[in-house]
């Protein structure tokens, strides 16, 4: 059943470019893997950690496609000719945000891959998250295919001082690509591409989805439900384990997001508790035992710096005017200084 959910549709990846009246604007290339949901997934061996020895049930079909980048004079990376020189010269910010409270969080229901929106509280959490990162550069945004993560990303960016507009990239059909084209070069410069990927979705909870958590514990026993929710490699009935979620989420991160960081792009990911735990497991090289005890609060951004091929955790920005957040690196401090000069 779980496999069927992810295999229900397979399409053909096609390159996606935004055209202007004067032709194709190419101010830089995002290394984008636009994978229409839901796609079959190919898991490649991890170079940074072991994600379990269980049977791999997915494989990821992805392609590197050109996407017109949004050049930003404030945060444009330096030009480098080789991968190695980029690794040595560029510093990039990586922001991770777990979506705000959803309607099913509020009702204490297992949500998983069911697509439900944010509550009023969740909307407030997303806006507050945006305030906390309002001085940190963002060049490209990744979200899951679920509305609660997308709402969180979009609402957060309404608070960013750069005032760029996040725009969801539509690649589900030729018509969608054609109808969503932007024909103004200037408008594109003031936009941020938002790429939705099902691989970043929450863990699929199988037959628990829609059930009340307390009633489920009463029915199956607290120990069994705790095992389903907190073990690394034991899935709920017809659902995914954290290990299975990590396989698809980390594979997508390595294939699609890490190249952006390597090229100097600043990335924000708005996703879910389990998909983000999986990515943090990779970034921090956690063991399967360490990751199961990792808790992420809703609407609280986490900041990493990617430099010289390494991820350095910088914690969570405390507030929009917290000086310490921007003193973490010289690059972030300079970015904020340029924003101040531009906006005053």
pLDDT of residue 343 exceeding 70, the answer is: yes
Average the pLDDT over 49-70 and give the result: 37
Active site residue 160: no
**CA-closest candidate to residue 332, choices 310, 306, 296, 297:** 306
Dihedral, CA atoms, 271, 159, 93, 285, nearest 10 degrees?
-30
The set of residues, in sequence order, having a beta carbon less than 8 Å from that of 113 and lying 6+ positions away, is 5, 146, 201, 202, 204, 205, 209
Instruction: For residue 317, name the pLDDT band (cuts at 50, 70, 90).
Output: low
> Is residue 3 scored above 80 in pLDDT?
no
User: For residue 73, what are its two tokens?
Assistant: 């004079």
Sign of CA dihedral 274, 277, 283, 285: negative
Give which of 15, 47, 113, 52 is closest to 258, Cα–Cα: 47
- Integer Cα distance of 260 and 257 in angstroms: 5
**The pLDDT of residue 163 is above 80:** yes
pLDDT of residue 339: 83
Percent of the chain with pLDDT over 70: 70
More confident residue, 173 or 37: 173
pLDDT value at residue 101: 96
Cα distances (Å, whole numbers) of residue 97 to 78, 150, 261, 289, 299: 27, 11, 17, 23, 6
Indicate the range of 117-126, 218-227, 251-260, 319-328 predicted with least confidence: 319-328
- Among 4-8, 95-99, 300-304, the range scoring the smallest mean pLDDT is 4-8
The pLDDT score that the predictor gives to residue 130 is: 95
| Residue 323 reports pLDDT greater than 80 | no
Which positions ≥6 away from 19 have C-beta within 8 Å? 25, 181, 183
Look over the chain and give the mean of its residue pLDDT values, rounded to a whole number.
78
The tens digit of pLDDT for each residue in 181-228 reads 999 999 999 999 999 999 999 999 999 999 999 999 999 999 999 999
**Average pLDDT for residues 317-342, to the nearest whole number?**
64
pTM of the model: 0.74
Give dist(CA 202, CA 242) in Å, integer: 10
User: What is the average per-residue pLDDT within 54-63?
Assistant: 36
Catalytically annotated residue among 25, 91, 99, 160: 99
164, two tokens: 């760029």
- Pairwise CA distance, residues 304 & 325, whole Å: 11
Question: For 230-242, what is each residue's pLDDT tens digit?
Answer: 999 999 999 999 9
Backbone angles phi, psi at 225, to 5 degrees: -65, -40
Cβ-proximal residues to 52 (8 Å cutoff; 6+ apart), any chain: 232, 233, 243, 246, 247, 288
Stated as kind and residue range, the H or E segment containing 143 is strand 140-143
What per-residue confidence (pLDDT) applies to 71?
36
Following DSSP, what letter does each residue of 172-214 receive, concatenated? SSHHHHHHT----HHHHHTEEEEEE-GGGSPPP-GGGTTSBHH
- Taking only the tens place, the pLDDT of each residue in 68-91 is 333 354 544 444 443 444 444 578
Torsion of CA 164, 19, 34, 168, to 10 degrees: 30
**Secondary structure string (H, E, C) spanning 297-322:** CCCCCEEEEEECCEEEEEECCCCCCC
Q: What is the DSSP string of 242-299?
A: HHHHHHHHHHHIIIIIHHHHHTT--EEEEE-HHHHHHHHHHHTT--HHHHTT----TT
Look at residue 316 in the predicted model and tell me its pLDDT. Answer: 63
Q: Does the annotation mark 202 as catalytic?
A: yes
Per DSSP, 98 falls in state: E
The tokens describing 259, both together, are 């190249």
Tens of pLDDT, residue by residue over 228-283, are 999 999 999 999 999 999 999 999 999 999 999 999 999 999 999 999 999 999 99
Count helices and strands in the chain by DSSP H and E runs: 15, 11
Q: Which of 202, 240, 243, 258 is catalytic?
A: 202
């Amino acid at each position: 059943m779980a496999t069927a959910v992810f295999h229900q549709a397979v399409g053909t990846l096609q390159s996606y470019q935004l055209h202007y009246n004067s032709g194709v604007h190419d101010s830089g290339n995002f290394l984008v893997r636009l994978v229409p949901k839901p796609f079959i997934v190919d898991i490649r061996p991890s170079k940074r950690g072991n994600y379990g020895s269980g049977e791999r049930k997915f494989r990821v079909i992805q392609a590197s496609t050109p996407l017109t980048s949004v050049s930003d004079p404030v945060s444009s990376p330096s030009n480098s000719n080789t991968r190695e020189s980029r690794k040595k010269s560029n510093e990039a910010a990586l922001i991770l945000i777990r979506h705000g409270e959803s309607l099913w969080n509020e009702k204490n229901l297992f949500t998983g891959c069911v697509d439900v929106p944010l509550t009023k509280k969740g909307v407030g959490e997303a806006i507050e998250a945006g305030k906390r990162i309002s001085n940190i550069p963002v060049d490209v945004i990744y979200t899951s295919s679920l509305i609660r993560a997308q709402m969180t990303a979009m609402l957060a960016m309404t608070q960013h001082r750069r005032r760029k507009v996040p725009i969801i990239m539509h690649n589900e059909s030729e018509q969608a690509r054609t109808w969503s084209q932007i024909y103004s070069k200037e408008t594109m410069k003031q936009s941020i591409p938002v790429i939705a990927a099902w691989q970043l979705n929450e863990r699929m909870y199988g037959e628990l989805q829609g059930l009340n958590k307390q009633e489920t514990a009463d029915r199956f026993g607290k120990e069994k439900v705790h095992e389903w929710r907190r073990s690394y490699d034991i899935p709920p009935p017809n659902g995914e384990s954290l290990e299975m979620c990590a396989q698809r989420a980390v594979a997508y991160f390595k294939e699609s997001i890490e190249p952006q960081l390597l090229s100097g792009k600043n990335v924000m990911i708005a996703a879910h508790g389990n998909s983000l735990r999986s990515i943090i497991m990779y970034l921090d090289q956690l063991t399967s035992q360490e990751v199961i005890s990792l808790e992420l609060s809703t609407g609280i951004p986490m900041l990493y710096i990617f430099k010289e091929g390494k991820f350095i955790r910088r914690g969570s920005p405390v507030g929009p005017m917290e000086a310490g957040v921007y003193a973490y690196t010289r690059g972030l401090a300079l970015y904020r200084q340029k924003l101040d000069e531009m906006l005053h």
